[in-house]
């Protein structure tokens, strides 16, 4: 293999990898956007009709579809300009080293303890609340438009913010790492038509934020006191306090640590096997 051939192969691999990465990003964002999913289905149907018209020699239908296919991409860019901008913004907000990944195990446990202590009180008192926890996608856009706090997380602070007569109780809280970054934040409302119509604005805002970012969004219903958690465009409704705690711990666990834990467990198994052989 010559050096030139090697360089060409490397360039081909990089080229293919970038294309697959682009397809992955598009599909990942597509699944959480209802309008884009419908358009994607429509495109598939149009392509199927075009192939069928060519096979059956349907001249008029084929000619019309050719114009649609020719000008369709431009129309899609114009119609879905907000969605395309949202995808590009999400790519720009992606953080390689986020605050929640820098937390130690003790800090995460303390954070979950304080949050769930506040959630338990809010649930029993029927006080509405919405708490967004930042992960890989930055929530600075929402922090900038809300009241900045940057205080240590405590159940007392969370409860006092959502207390009915507090000026900030109507908005949401944004948590970065183990700090309450801001309060009174306004989150985007989900347009998902499948969401239960009985659920209010807080639940729709939680779902909307989880559709646009990878944040964990906890909601306490003011009417029923029920707990819900929105993650990756899915609203987990009517959770028990224990289920909510377990879900929060699981979602906050950095993926990197799972790999380390598996390696550590493998090493322990190997060591125990060696010890058994020695014995």
Tens digits of residue pLDDT in 204-215: 999 999 988 889
In a domain, 11, yes or no: yes
Three-state DSSP state, 187:
coil
CB 25 within 8 A of CB 84: no
In a domain, 197, yes or no: yes
Average pLDDT, the chain: 79
Same domain, residue pair 74 and 176: no
Flag whether pLDDT at 270 surpasses 60.
no
Same domain, residue pair 124 and 175: yes
CB 110 within 8 A of CB 178: yes
Same domain, residue pair 38 and 84: yes
On the 0-12 / 13-18 / 19+ scale of CB atoms within 10 A, 266 is: exposed
Same domain, residue pair 117 and 182: yes
CB 187 within 8 A of CB 208: yes
Report pLDDT for 74. 76
Give the domain CATH number at 115.
Answer: 3.40.1700.10
Across the range 268-276, mean pLDDT stands at 47
Report pLDDT for 69. 74
Across the range 237-252, mean pLDDT stands at 92
Report pLDDT for 136. 82
Report pLDDT for 276. 43
Domain termination residue (choose one: 70, 93, 116): 93
Across the range 101-130, mean pLDDT stands at 89
Tens digits of residue pLDDT in 83-115: 666 666 655 555 544 555 667 888 888 999 999
Same domain, residue pair 8 and 29: yes
| Residue % of the chain over a pLDDT of 90 | 31
Three-state DSSP state, 156:
helix
Tens digits of residue pLDDT in 10-57: 888 888 888 888 777 666 666 555 566 666 777 788 788 878 888 888
Report pLDDT for 98. 53
How many structural domains does the chain have?
2
Across the range 217-234, mean pLDDT stands at 93
Report pLDDT for 83. 61
Same domain, residue pair 144 and 81: no
pTM: 0.62
Same domain, residue pair 220 and 108: yes
CB 200 within 8 A of CB 130: no
Domain termination residue (choose one: 44, 62, 93): 93
Tens digits of residue pLDDT in 135-186: 888 888 898 889 999 999 999 999 999 998 888 888 899 998 888 999 999 9
User: Greater confidence, 277 or 245?
Assistant: 245
In a domain, 70, yes or no: yes
Range of the domain at 29: 3-93
């Amino acid at each position: 293999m010559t050096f030139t051939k090697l360089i060409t192969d490397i360039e081909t691999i990089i080229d293919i990898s970038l294309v697959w990465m682009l397809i992955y990003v598009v599909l990942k964002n597509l699944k959480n956007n209802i309008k884009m999913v419908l358009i994607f289905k429509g495109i598939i149907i149009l392509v199927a009709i075009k192939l069928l018209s060519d096979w059956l020699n349907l001249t008029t239908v084929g000619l019309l579809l050719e114009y649609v296919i020719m000008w369709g991409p431009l129309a899609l860019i114009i119609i879905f300009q907000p969605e395309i901008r949202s995808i590009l913004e999400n790519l720009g907000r992606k953080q390689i080293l986020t605050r929640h990944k820098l937390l130690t195990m003790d800090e995460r446990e303390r954070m979950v303890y304080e949050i769930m202590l506040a959630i338990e009180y809010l649930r029993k008192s029927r006080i509405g609340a919405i708490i967004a926890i930042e992960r890989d996608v930055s929530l600075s856009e929402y922090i900038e438009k809300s009241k900045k706090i940057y205080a240590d997380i405590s159940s007392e602070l969370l409860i006092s913010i959502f207390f009915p007569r507090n000026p900030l109780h109507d908005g949401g809280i944004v948590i970065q790492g183990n700090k309450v970054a801001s309060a009174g934040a306004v989150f985007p409302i989900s347009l998902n038509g499948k969401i239960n119509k009985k659920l209010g604005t807080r639940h729709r805002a939680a779902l909307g934020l989880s559709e646009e970012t990878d944040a964990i969004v906890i909601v306490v219903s003011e009417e029923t006191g029920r707990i819900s958690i929105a993650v990756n465009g899915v609203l987990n409704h009517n959770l028990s306090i224990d289920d909510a705690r377990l879900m929060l711990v699981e979602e906050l666990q950095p993926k990197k640590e799972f790999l380390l834990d598996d390696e550590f467990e493998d090493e322990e198994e190997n060591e125990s096997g060696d010890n058994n052989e020695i014995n």
